[in-house]
């Protein structure tokens, strides 16, 4: 079972990654010898080609900015990954590379843990791979959502507090405010936020982004991305170890 097995994370500028410590702790806890988890910092997605020729590579996680771009390099997608249009977990089995989306699983667990009945429509801030997984989950539960990004009809320039008031779930899916740029914050009308709101910021480092602090000051229930991250990582571990046919 535990001959050499290599796992890792691909992304850009990802030295701060949670995943390496998470999985190394897991190997230690389960007393698994011969497993390793490495950070593969790629300046361009095509560098993943070299990674695929690594011996004993079992799979890897995918983070910003490659969750959508990786798809062109895979042989197959899970149903969810195909519907979402983004991949954050890759399994390599008999040379075939299959993409999964475990962000959806992680977000779903987070949402169900915190959502109240009156919170029945959402704003999704950002339109990258994580935002797509969030939209997929909201759709699954019949929660209407509006995507706000730089180039959507409602964007960060014209989003007003009335729109924020109407949507009681706000999911912050952009990297703005991530360590080390902890003082950065999206241009957002926090005056529309109230104690009726659930604010989920997918960032986990820092624990409290400027976005979360500003929303909490308005009395909103706020949640960061840590639980989602843990849950998606557990799901990835399951895929790498129990998907064998």
Two structure tokens written together for 129: 């791979």
Number of neighbouring beta carbons within 10 Å of residue 190? 17
Q: Give the gyration radius of the chain's Cα atoms.
A: 18
Coil, helix or strand for 191?
helix
Give the integer Cα–Cα distance in Å for 87 and 76. 11
Rounded to the nearest 5°, which phi and psi values hold at 208?
-120, 105
Residues present in the chain in total: 245
Q: Would you give the DSSP letter of residue 40?
A: E
* CB contact set of 146 (below 8 Å; sequence gap of 6+): 121, 122, 123, 124, 154, 163, 167
Two structure tokens written together for 18: 């949670």
Catalytically annotated residues: 67
Give the integer Cα–Cα distance in Å for 74 and 92. 10
């Amino acid at each position: 079972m535990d001959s050499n097995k290599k796992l890792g994370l691909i992304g850009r500028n990802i030295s701060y990654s949670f995943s390496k410590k998470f999985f190394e702790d897991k190997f230690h806890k389960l007393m698994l010898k011969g497993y390793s988890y490495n950070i593969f910092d790629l300046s361009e997605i095509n560098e993943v080609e070299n990674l695929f020729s690594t011996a004993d590579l079992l799979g890897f996680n995918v983070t910003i900015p490659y969750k959508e771009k990786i798809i062109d390099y895979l042989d197959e997608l899970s149903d969810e990954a195909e519907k979402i249009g983004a991949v954050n977990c890759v399994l390599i089995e008999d040379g075939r590379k299959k993409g999964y989306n475990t962000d959806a699983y992680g977000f779903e667990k987070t949402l169900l843990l915190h959502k109240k009945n009156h919170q029945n429509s959402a704003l999704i801030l950002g339109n990258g791979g994580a935002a797509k997984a969030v939209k997929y989950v909201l759709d699954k539960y019949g929660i209407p959502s509006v995507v706000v990004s730089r180039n959507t009809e409602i964007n960060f320039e014209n989003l007003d507090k009335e729109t924020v008031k109407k949507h009681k779930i706000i999911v912050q899916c952009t990297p703005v405010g991530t360590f080390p740029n902890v003082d950065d914050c999206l241009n957002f009308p926090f005056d529309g936020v109230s104690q009726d709101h659930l604010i989920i910021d997918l960032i986990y480092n820092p624990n409290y982004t400027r976005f979360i602090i500003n929303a909490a000051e308005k009395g909103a229930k706020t949640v960061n991305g840590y639980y989602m991250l843990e849950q998606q990582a557990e799901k990835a571990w399951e895929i790498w170890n129990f998907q064998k046919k």
